[in-house]
Structure 1
Amino acid sequence: MTTALDHYQARMQRVLAHIDQHLDGDLDLEAVSSVAAFSKFHFHRQFKATFGVSLHRYVQLARLRRASKRLADGQGPSVTDIALEAGYEAPDAFARAFRQRFSQSPSDFRKAPDWAPWLAAFGPLNAARSRIMQTTFNPDQVTIREVAPTRVAIFEHRGDPDTQDATIQRFIAWRKGAGLSPRTNPTFNIWHSERRPADPADYRMDLCVGLLDDRPVEEGAKAGEIPGGRCAVLRVTGDTHNLEPAALYLYRDWLPASGEEMRDFPIYCQRFFLDEPELGTAAELFLPLR
């Protein structure tokens, strides 16, 4: 029974990965159901039962999220090109849909994004992704690695985790302004608290960029270092939006059985792009050890 359930969940995860990687392509019911090898006559009900939103709304939200991020970049394609990429036949239709979702026109959002309506609009999308059942891990996937210290620029998020997407967007804009591409300068997340503390105000997470030279840190971030030493490393590929299952596995399952002891530094991850875009993104979680 467990094997059958895992297989079903893997097929649904494959659907989300396919949508992420083909937002410019054909994502109608027949095309997407074939990715999971489900009958198109039942798939729309299966999708909504699993993720809480319809396939059409999920795709629409995913395209709007990508469009809004390109607008916020400020240096990307024109509003017309972004509208066409999002699947709209005319900029006017895109502008109406965008204003309805985010209470700003695309042009106004590009100049000065208001992140509060943006966060609210994508609540259903984030909730859908979080309903993917936990991925299972095993000890063979964990390696112990000697890690060199890394000088970083730190961009802090403090407070309600539901607002961290806005912090992430500000971090991306700051990183671009500083000329620190994720292709050349590694990106890290450091978690100083639980993912969902009892008091949301207690949530603390750092977004970091690795610095490969002695350049001063641009205004808006602060200098710091991820210390070197032994770490247990667990690699996650595909959907890396929610790394809590991997972190829980390291803390709850792997660590007690390993006989290892934790070092006095929080768990953190490095995020990076895979060489083959169709494989998605990846993250490596580092649990510092003595």
Structure 2
Amino acid sequence: MNKHTSLNRIELVCDYISHHLDQELNLDILSEVGACSKYHFHRIFKAYMGISAIQYVQMARLKRASFRLAFEPKYTITDIAYEANFDSPEAFSRAFSRIFAQTPSQFRARPDWHQWHARYDIHPPKRGNSMLEVQVVDFAERNVALIEHYGHPSRVLETAGKFIQWRKTTGLSPIDKSETFGIPYSDPSQTAEEEFRFDICGTHQGEVPENEFGVKAGIIPAGRCAMAIHKGSLDRIGETIYQIYQGWLVESGEETRDFPCFFRYLNFVHQVDECDLETEVYIPLK
């Protein structure tokens, strides 16, 4: 898949959204329209468009709502709110006011079109960072022990603590002799808290017996991957991920595989200063 094909797919998704505003538009549906793995679609869309697919859907619905308010008085604000897929007129008013700095009633009476146009002046981010070194590697399959985290990203460390306790209790995956991986199944900034999943994994010896920590056996599959090293705080690892999507992936013409991106931690904060952390970022490729 070349970069022009990638752009065509995003344009196809945007066109689909504009023609299906009254239908359900979630990431599963949109990734299928774009013929892209659901694990990567949200990041690829944001890399091209500068906003997430769900934000784009909301902005498209609010654009129609704006025209209804300004030019079609036969529609009540309540009608427009429900048409825009909001649960209530109050929720619609809050969202509209937050984005356009006018309530729906104020906009209907005297729309600030300058402010309105500014909100739709969307510029995709600059493509990549020439300083980031990305290479294509053949990743060998790993049998891992893993624990699944569900919930707010800020609580991942609590789940990591359980995995560390399992490691210490069983001795099957000593941290100094085993690899440690993290697998985010979506972008936490674009995922509802209750839907966010992050697996913490480690290579191990022997079988993974049943245990009180919820650790179980799993596999990170073999395959080609784009790999770059993120240096520094893990709080900013998203910047490296998006540099790969925005720059390297666009220019390379490569296509993502149906497995989420994942990390291999080369060191840890109890070993080095946070600024000296190094983490390999992998984007699975076809």
Structure 2 length normalisation: TM-score? 0.49
- Greater CA radius of gyration, 1 or 2? 2
Structure 1 length normalisation: TM-score? 0.49
